[in-house]
A and B are shown apart, each in its own frame.
Chain A
């Protein structure tokens, strides 16, 4: 379990990282915390010719905030959220989610941007950023562009990042103090990737309501209508969740279906205790 030979670059600036990545083309790979890429390198599932290490770039560790949003650099680590070292735009939701990612040793090195770019459908940040309606800023040799989180994930481990592009920052709309969120994941074992994730975020001040079903071997599924009717009535009692989940996941096994229904139901319950 040793990687194939590769070049290792440690650029001093983001723009240098972008030009190094463009220079290597499809054979270059960005590494930040290395918590997913490391094992893939060792298993030789990833066989890059060059690794460009962006972990140390200050530009990617900054937090910018304004009235409506907070923008996080992609190389901010899970522990920075967990330990409250960066501002939380989400009434505690991001801090809670970060604390539940894998184990502390992973959180010490793993980064939010790395997790998003890796695009594991069962990853916490993938589902959370969609639930929060985040916007991603990516930088390539031809410039910057922004992508809505819901458009970023194309499939399991597939994103709309083009060759040569680096995920630079994540912009999260602030949740107001009227907002409430529920987050529930079902794991086979503590610290493992989830079998099912259910999320509900409701922010009356912004007229925002979103439900997300995650960890379904496909990009997270957004159930906005469902969320809106729950938010309107203040309860999920009248909704047949199992049917709604089945409609969203027509190919899921009975066990997976039940897991997703329960995860969503428990997330809703955190917002609207019955």
Chain B
């Protein structure tokens, strides 16, 4: 089946429409009488609302919080002891808590006119001191963001390891303070939602650009007070999500409410400024971290305090605890050590709420542990690659339970490091470093290795006690009367090519022709419930479900075929895109025809469930299957300008069985480029009053083609013992490693100058500042 099934590089089913510009996104939908909505948003980060006043005559076209009286606020709680949930109203009530929070929805025939209306709303807000810095927000005298809380902490967690014994005995102790910038993830298509009332179905129909359509239905039902059977959520084409589109958004609720109450179609399309200032926020961490090691650099223990600036509200359903829970749990990374103490603070700040972004917390913790690994290596005077390799969990230790109890199922972590070092010719770089570069730049090499918990399921999410816990993923397969195959699954494709890869799984099980398979995803009216596309779970979970359902369909087809061919069930073979026994063969159309059109041909004992199968699936061990990878970067740093050029970059990943290696490579490449953005370019800074300073793509710089080298890829394929076909998730991994690898390379380049970068993005300004500081320190020491 390698030509079309699992393991084949078949072209993507999605690409024909996308490459021809025929995709159908929320912005492409046309509907009679469609109204466009713009939001009047808060211009202050923190304040008490005195009044939001509509100008005369605009009562029916401007909606304020007073109009939404029967709408429940977004409420995302967690069962972790001490967690404080927030009330996140669709339109702000009482207080505003970040710049960009929605105050009023304004309705017109065009977006421009809706924006005119939005300007006309009179807003009177008493400004309160903004809470911006997450460390200051922790202070007992910090202004309170949620008035009924005793402090600004959504949650603190603590893992108590016996660090005290190491403090006295460990020969090497390395302490660093590290920071990661606040980021805004950038799908090409921003958020968009269109809702209308379908009178025939007596249903609210919501087209929304989402990763999680079934959960959105649940969330809308809870906030609008409308039964789920009366809501249909349809995700059209989605132009990227990266996590931004896996939460229920206030604008989604307002548009749905407008359609529900007026029975007329309404739409909101997020623009880039809204996205940058009020939309997806993520990644901002602060680390105070000490590593203990022996004289060779063998890690003995880690003591960390992690502060996450979560923003103003807890998002539904992933809550304000997900980031810190993932950070505290994943900081130990792929390393084998026994003592771990970690305290995490999930701090409310006057910024837009955190949404889970590709890699969730792991780009931060990977950056932190990987910088520590290099710092240890410098401290003991050894090559960071050797120190790293010696600390990695070995293949002989698999499966391995790490210091936080994570169960690493399979793989050879040191092999990935060795392979990636070969791809960038690490020994060659070390030799090159011995002589100065002609252009005066400094060359450095850096590595980063990580594990990526993928498709973590019931047990993990239940331990966080968040509002929706994923269970069995379901999929339906159906043979059509003419021998085609329809797959329906509740997960959604947001660019990752699930229409293609789910088809390949069915092809693998049934031997049916790839072109005969079509896939419908996400529509709550026609697909089984799924919690959706997040946590690198699609291929493992939905792939597993399609595999199961296809296997059952194969059993039923086999029975009918054996009857028609007058043989035993076990003589039936699926091969050559046919159903064969000995020299005789049937087409899939023959089977379809028999079941649907010529039932007199069926055996007496035919399975009356027919040619349509719905099956559920989760892996044997549902705490996640662990993908891992090693990345390597070679950089040139211009010490006079602070500008970094990535000269070479390589990634070697192991995501188990690759269903479509071309798609795996696309995922790794795309993720890596996002990680380059995290490392060098992307940042959403805020001033002390909470004003976002990056409100256009001129200020928020994304990496472009000219900033990247040709990225080299390598693969290892270690099958997971727990998942169908040994598949592990790969959606997020690429984004995790680059900050660690790139900043380690920068620090390697600047080592001789006594400069170490500890904050990302490592902009020219930050690098040059550090160089100038070291220069003036050396001058001071000399004089």
Contact = CB atoms under 8 A, between A and B. Distances in A.
Interface of A: 1-5, 39, 43-44, 186, 188-193, 195, 254-255, 258-259, 262
Interface stretch (B224-232, B452-460, B552-560, B698-706): B698-706
Contacts of A189: 681, 701, 703-704, 707
Nearest to B705: A190
A1 B272 contact: yes
B598 interface: no
B271 A259 contact: no
B706 A192 contact: no
5 contacts: A2-B112, A43-B273, A188-B765, A189-B703, A192-B698
B723 to A, nearest CB: 40
A189 B706 CA distance: 9
Interface string B259-286: 0000000000001111000000000000
Contacts of B707: 189-190
B685 interface: no
A242 to B, nearest CB: 11
Contact of B640 (A5, A39, A262): A262
Contact of A254 (B641, B703, B763, B772): B772
B772 A258 contact: yes
A258 B763 contact: no
A172 to B, nearest CB: 29
Contact of B765 (A191, A192, A193, A255): A255
Given A2-B111, A192-B698, A258 B706 contact: no
Contacts of A43: 273, 696
Interface residue SS majority, chain A? loop
The residue in B642, B698, B706 that gathers the most chain A C-beta atoms within 10 A of its C-beta is: B642
B705 to A, nearest CB: 9
B116 to A, nearest CB: 7
Given A188-B701, A190-B704, 12 more contacts: A1-B271, A3-B112, A186-B641, A188-B763, A188-B764, A190-B706, A191-B706, A192-B698, A192-B701, A255-B642, A255-B765, A262-B641
Nearest to A257: B772
Contacts, number: 58
Interface of B: 110-112, 115-116, 119, 271-274, 640-643, 681, 696, 698, 701, 703-704, 706-707, 763-765, 768-769, 772
Contacts of B643: 186
B272 A258 contact: no
Contacts of B696: 39, 43
A255 B112 contact: no
A216 to B, nearest CB: 15
Given A186-B641, A258-B772, A5 B112 contact: yes
A255 B696 CA distance: 24
Contact of A255 (B119, B272, B698, B772): B772
Nearest to B703: A189
Contacts of A190: 704, 706-707
Contacts of B272: 1
B704 A259 contact: no
A258 B273 contact: no
B140 to A, nearest CB: 34
A202 B703 CA distance: 36
Nearest to A190: B706
A255 B769 contact: yes
Contact of B704 (A44, A186, A191, A195): A191
B112 A258 contact: no
A129 to B, nearest CB: 23
A1 B273 contact: yes
Given A2-B115, A254-B772, A259 B273 contact: no
B763 to A, nearest CB: 6
A131 to B, nearest CB: 21
B271 A4 contact: no
A39 B769 CA distance: 32
Contacts of A188: 681, 701, 763-765
A100 to B, nearest CB: 12
Contacts of B698: 39, 192-193
Contacts of A39: 696, 698
A116 to B, nearest CB: 19
A2 B119 CA distance: 12
A86 B115 CA distance: 42
Contacts of A1: 115, 271-274
A54 B707 CA distance: 35
B192 to A, nearest CB: 14
Contacts of B768: 255, 258-259
Nearest to B273: A1
A4 B640 contact: no
B606 to A, nearest CB: 60
Contacts of A262: 640-641
B296 to A, nearest CB: 39
The 6 closest A-B pairs by CB, nearest first: A2-B112, A1-B271, A190-B706, A262-B640, A189-B701, A255-B768
Contacts of A4: 112, 116
A4 B111 CA distance: 11
Contacts of B704: 189-191
A39 B698 CA distance: 10
B363 to A, nearest CB: 20
B763 A5 contact: no
A193 B697 CA distance: 12
A258 B769 CA distance: 10
A259 B765 CA distance: 9
The residue in A5, A186, A189 that gathers the most chain B C-beta atoms within 10 A of its C-beta is: A189
Contacts of B703: 189
Contacts of B119: 44
A111 B765 CA distance: 30
Given A5-B116, A191-B706, A258 B271 contact: no
Contacts of B641: 186, 258-259, 262
A39 B276 CA distance: 15
Contacts of B640: 258, 262
Nearest to A266: B640
